[in-house]
Amino acid sequence: MSAEEIANRLWNLCNVLRDDGVTYHQYLNELTYILFLKLSEVKDFEEHIPEAYRWRGFVEEHDNNEAFVRYRKFLAEISNKTSSESIKEIYTNASTSLRKPVNFNTLLQAIDKIDWYEQDDRDVMGDIYESLLEKNAGEKKSGAGQYFTPRPLINVMVDLMVPKIGERWNDPAAGTFGFMIAADHYLRSKTDDYYTLDAKARKFQEEEAFSGVELVSDAHRLALMNARLHGMESKIYLGDTLTEFGKSLKNFDGVLANPPFGTKKGGERPSRDDLTFLSSNKQLNFLQHIYRSLKKNGKARAAVVLPDNVLFEDGDGQRIRKDLMDKCNVHTILRLPTGIFYAAGVKTNVLFFTRGKTETNNTKGVWFYDMRTNVPNYGKRTPFTETAFTDFIKAYTGGITAENVEQDYDGIVDQDKRLAIKDERWQYLTREAITKKNDSLDLGLIADDSVSNGDDLGEPIAIAKEAMEELQSITAQLEAMIKELQ
């Protein structure tokens, strides 16, 4: 059974548990608690869990009520009864959303029967969990989309940043840690899962190379689980990057991030005395933090997802953009399609920049690529995949195709090769031209030949069709589950 098939089976169990009052998001938390117990058996670290609470004891308990009482006791006590920091973090403030012992047993037995290895003996637990995270993000009622960046976008950003062994990478708004896991996978694929490295270098990659910060406790728990299932012992802090704590996050070789949208509660400003321009706009504050957290060696780089307002906001927005272009070479801005994130109509971009060695005049000009104008409405009928980035990758790399980018691209932006790319979506504007527009970066969109990409009446119709297709899919899944249970 493939990872996707296993993920679908586990996800469909949530429909069975709906009569227990369990939401999709609660269900994923519950799966995390139970899957980690199974992981302790599979990965052989059960010595950190008291014998009474180990996986096999739960599975082989014939009394559902007894097993469920023990499980609730386990959740309440385990953080104080283990020496493992990972276990303490995963189960901090843990509690069950289940009310019926039989439903706990249903989850136990379903998970225990799963073969976690594919035919090539590859451990697929991480793949399964990421698939569950994606399903949760796609479920609008869960509200988890804000913690999940589309996988195709993550992969392209990682490929174009070209992480290297020995570098330190960070995500200051980590969500479920997707960016760092993708960067880790990128390097594992080039080093035979780090086995070509010596013990010291391998330990660095597994424990120190990647780090993150997440403010929301549930998302932090999911991030920890996601990392552990992918063989990463990375430090993922539960905290707020925009407080004094964030000052310690610095001297990184790279940052990949999708900071949360919106403003601080009540319009309050961050409690950081090292940010020059304090704004109630969280994205502007995160942007300042990110470029200040990079090493000043001319090589440290970042790719950051930001909404349109960051590109044109006046006042502090203009001052922060000017500061960014002084301190960094903002070489590329990708104007993303609308509709690829959880909130309909959100317009976003990816800013690619490299920290300079000096504090001024590092941006000489900016390349813009328009993936927004006159493009399909992405959704169930038109999935958003990495093929959508084919032309952008070719322009960004100066001619290297998407199929060869991992092998042939070394991360060096070549201005001459970029100039040779002929694509109406690919435009270059000098710093002088940008300055004349009050340092606005809301540029580079081509003239549209129609009211395009979700701004016309076609979008409501498309959304309605997708909703109907989703309802039909859920109905079919329920029918299949009922048959399986009979």
Query: Could you read off the pLDDT of 52-108 as tens digits, one per residue?
Result: 999 999 999 999 999 999 999 999 999 998 888 888 989 988 999 898 999 899 889
Q: In this structure, are residues 170 and 211 in contact, taking their beta carbons and an 8 Å threshold?
A: yes
Specify if 275 maps to a domain: yes
Mark whether 104 and 148 lie in a shared domain. no
Mark whether 73 and 208 lie in a shared domain. no
The residues that bridge with 426 in the sheet, in sequence order, are: 369
Specify if 449 maps to a domain: no
Specify if 473 maps to a domain: no
The CATH number that applies at residue 375 is 3.40.50.150
Tens of pLDDT, residue by residue over 195-224, are 999 999 999 999 999 999 999 888 899 899
pLDDT surpasses 60 at 23: yes
Mark whether 267 and 394 lie in a shared domain. yes
Mark whether 326 and 246 lie in a shared domain. yes
Specify if 399 maps to a domain: yes
CA 48, CA 51: separation in Å to the nearest integer? 9
Mark whether 224 and 96 lie in a shared domain. no
pLDDT surpasses 70 at 484: no
pLDDT at 462: 47
pLDDT at 174: 95
Mark whether 97 and 168 lie in a shared domain. no
Q: Mean pLDDT across the chain, nearest whole number?
A: 86
What confidence category does residue 123 fall into, taking pLDDT thresholds of 50, 70 and 90? low
Does 313 or 24 have the greater pLDDT score?
A: 313
The residues, ordered by sequence, that sit 6+ positions from 355 with a Cβ below 8 Å of its Cβ are 291, 294, 295, 296, 297, 298, 300, 301, 302, 327, 328
Q: In this structure, are residues 148 and 175 in contact, taking their beta carbons and an 8 Å threshold?
A: yes
Domain hosting 303: range is 143-440
Tens of pLDDT, residue by residue over 148-168, are 688 999 999 999 999 999 999
Specify if 128 maps to a domain: no
Q: How many domains does the chain have?
A: 2
Mark whether 96 and 188 lie in a shared domain. no
Mark whether 304 and 348 lie in a shared domain. yes
pLDDT surpasses 50 at 266: no
The CA R_g of the chain, rounded to the nearest whole Å, is: 24
Tens of pLDDT, residue by residue over 296-338, are 999 999 999 999 999 999 999 999 999 999 999 999 999 999 8
Mark whether 95 and 163 lie in a shared domain. no
Question: Mean pLDDT over residues 260-279, rounded?
Answer: 72
Q: For residue 128, what is the enclosing H or E element?
A: helix 125-138
- Location of structure tokens 């029967």: 113
Specify if 69 maps to a domain: yes
Does 464 or 33 have the greater pLDDT score?
A: 33
Specify if 455 maps to a domain: no
The residues, ordered by sequence, that sit 6+ positions from 117 with a Cβ below 8 Å of its Cβ are 123, 124
SS3 48: helix
Q: In this structure, are residues 257 and 293 in contact, taking their beta carbons and an 8 Å threshold?
A: no
Mark whether 105 and 220 lie in a shared domain. no
Number of C-beta neighbours around residue 259 at 10 A = 24
The CATH number that applies at residue 42 is 1.20.1260.30
Specify if 250 maps to a domain: yes
Integer CA distances (angstroms), 316 to 283, 312, 324, in order: 12, 11, 12
Mark whether 266 and 378 lie in a shared domain. yes
Q: pTM of the entire structure? A: 0.86
- Location of structure tokens 């800013």: 351
